[in-house]
Amino acid sequence: MCCVWTILGNYVIQEFIKYFDLLNKRGPDSKNILDLKNIAMCFHRLAIMGLSDAGNQPLKLPNKDIWLTANAEIFNYKDLLENTKPVSDSDCESILYCYDKYGIEETVNKLDGEFAFTLYDRTKETLFVARDPFGVRPLFMGESKDDQTIIFSSEIKGIPDHFTISHVSPGTYMEVSKKDLSVKTTRYYEYIFPNIFNPSMYDSIYNKLVKAVEKRLVADREVGVLLSGGLDSSLVAAIASRKIRQEGGQLHTFSIGMERGTDLKFARDVARHIGSKHHEVIKTKEEFLKAIPDVVYATESHDVTTIRASVGHYLLAKYIKENTDIKVLLGGEGADEVCGGYLYITKAPNTEEFHKECVRLLENIHLFDVTRSDRCISSQHGLESRVPFLDKDFVKTYLGTLSNHRDGGHKRLLRNVFHKTGLIPVDVILRQKEAFSDGVSPLEDSWHTIIQRHLDTVIPDNEKSEKLTKEQYYYLTLFIKFFGSKNINIIPFHWEPKWTKVKDPSARLL
DSSP 376: I
For residues 307 and 303, give the distance between their C-alpha atoms in angstroms, rounded to a whole number.
6
Nearest to 62 by CA among 39, 81, 79, 47: 81
Among residues 157, 187, 217, which one ends one of the domains? 187
**Residue 222 host element (H or E):** strand 222-226
Please check whether residues 266 and 386 belong to one and the same domain.
yes
Q: Are strands 149-153 and 66-74 parallel, antiparallel or unpaired?
A: unpaired
Q: Are the C-beta atoms of 370 and 361 separated by less than 8 Å? A: no
Q: Does pLDDT of 503 surpass 80?
A: no
Mean pLDDT for the stretch of residues 11-26: 93
Overall domain count for the chain: 2
Please check whether residues 440 and 384 belong to one and the same domain.
yes
Q: Are the C-beta atoms of 229 and 264 separated by less than 8 Å? A: yes
Please check whether residues 16 and 101 belong to one and the same domain.
yes
Apex CA 149: angle with CA 148 and CA 154, to 5°? Answer: 160
**pLDDT at residue 331 in the model:** 97
Q: Is 339 a catalytic residue?
A: no
Q: Does pLDDT of 438 surpass 90?
A: no
Which spans in 231-346 are helix H?
Answer: 231-246, 262-274, 285-299, 304-323, 335-339
Q: Are strands 183-187 and 222-226 parallel, antiparallel or unpaired?
A: unpaired
For residues 341 and 253, give the distance between their C-alpha atoms in angstroms, rounded to a whole number.
23
Select the more confidently predicted residue: 497 or 408: 497
Please check whether residues 235 and 344 belong to one and the same domain.
yes
Please check whether residues 367 and 276 belong to one and the same domain.
yes
Select the more confidently predicted residue: 422 or 407: 422
Mean pLDDT, the chain, rounded, equals 94
CA distances 203 to 194, 208, 216, 394, 416, Å, are: 18, 8, 20, 12, 11
Please check whether residues 174 and 253 belong to one and the same domain.
no
**Which of 73-77, 379-383, 400-404 holds the top average pLDDT?**
73-77
Strand ranges for 20-102 from DSSP E: 30-36, 39-45, 59-60, 66-74
**pLDDT at residue 49 in the model:** 82
Mean pLDDT for the stretch of residues 278-295: 98
Residue 507 lies in a domain: no
Give tens-digit pLDDT for 327-362: 999 999 999 999 999 999 999 999 999 999 999 999
Lowest mean pLDDT among 64-73, 81-90, 461-470, 482-491: 461-470
For residues 63 and 14, give the distance between their C-alpha atoms in angstroms, rounded to a whole number.
29
Q: Please, which contacts does 489-493 make with residues 24 or more away whose CB atoms are closer than 8 Å?
A: 490/140, 490/156, 490/165, 490/166, 490/167, 490/300, 491/301, 491/302, 491/303, 491/367, 492/367
Domain containing 64 — which CATH number?
3.60.20.10
Residue 249 lies in a domain: yes
Give tens-digit pLDDT for 35-80: 998 999 998 998 888 788 887 889 999 989 999 999 999 999 999 9
**pLDDT at residue 199 in the model:** 86
SS (H, E, C) 460-500: CCCCCCCCCCHHHHHHHHHHHHHHCHHHHHHCCCCCCCCCC
Domain containing 432 — which CATH number?
3.40.50.620
Residue 34 lies in a domain: yes
Mean pLDDT for the stretch of residues 492-510: 82
For residues 89 and 47, give the distance between their C-alpha atoms in angstroms, rounded to a whole number.
11
**pLDDT at residue 147 in the model:** 79
- Strand ordering across the sheet containing 30-36: 30-36, 39-45, 3-9, 149-153, 140-144, 164-167
**pLDDT at residue 195 in the model:** 84
Task: Report CA dihedral (450, 452, 456, 460) to the nearest 10 degrees.
Answer: 150
Please check whether residues 208 and 167 belong to one and the same domain.
no
**pLDDT at residue 61 in the model:** 94
**pLDDT at residue 403 in the model:** 85
Q: Are the C-beta atoms of 154 and 139 separated by less than 8 Å? A: yes
**pLDDT at residue 99 in the model:** 98
Q: Does pLDDT of 218 surpass 90?
A: yes
Residue 387 lies in a domain: yes
Please check whether residues 308 and 168 belong to one and the same domain.
no
**pLDDT at residue 464 in the model:** 74
Between helix 470-483 and helix 447-458 the angle, nearest 10°, is 80
Residue 72 lies in a domain: yes
pLDDT confidence band for 506 (50 / 70 / 90): confident
Mean pLDDT for the stretch of residues 411-431: 94
Mean pLDDT for the stretch of residues 15-40: 93
Give tens-digit pLDDT for 140-176: 999 998 879 999 999 999 999 999 999 999 999 999 9
Please check whether residues 229 and 261 belong to one and the same domain.
yes
Mean pLDDT for the stretch of residues 465-478: 92
Residue 31 lies in a domain: yes
Q: Taken in order 336, 134, 325, 20, is the CA torsion positive or negative?
A: negative
Among residues 187, 211, 234, which one ends one of the domains? 187
Please check whether residues 412 and 265 belong to one and the same domain.
yes
Cβ-proximal residues to 310 (8 Å cutoff; 6+ apart), any chain: 295, 298, 299, 301, 372, 375, 376
Amino acid letter, 308:
R
Residue 27 lies in a domain: yes
Cβ-proximal residues to 192 (8 Å cutoff; 6+ apart), any chain: none
Cβ-proximal residues to 180 (8 Å cutoff; 6+ apart), any chain: none
Give tens-digit pLDDT for 113-130: 999 999 999 999 999 999
CA 158 to chain CA centroid, nearest Å:
18
**pLDDT at residue 510 in the model:** 66
Q: Are the C-beta atoms of 363 and 390 separated by less than 8 Å? A: no
For residues 238 and 341, give the distance between their C-alpha atoms in angstroms, rounded to a whole number.
19
Instruction: Please tell me the pTM assigned to this model.
Output: 0.96
Among residues 428, 449, 470, which one ends one of the domains? 449
Residue 466 lies in a domain: no
For residues 261 and 72, give the distance between their C-alpha atoms in angstroms, rounded to a whole number.
35
For residues 68 and 40, give the distance between their C-alpha atoms in angstroms, rounded to a whole number.
11
For residues 347 and 357, give the distance between their C-alpha atoms in angstroms, rounded to a whole number.
11
Please check whether residues 173 and 121 belong to one and the same domain.
yes
Please check whether residues 265 and 159 belong to one and the same domain.
no
Amino acid letter, 138:
P
Domain span at 219:
201-449
Percent of the chain with pLDDT over 70: 99
Q: Does pLDDT of 245 surpass 70?
A: yes
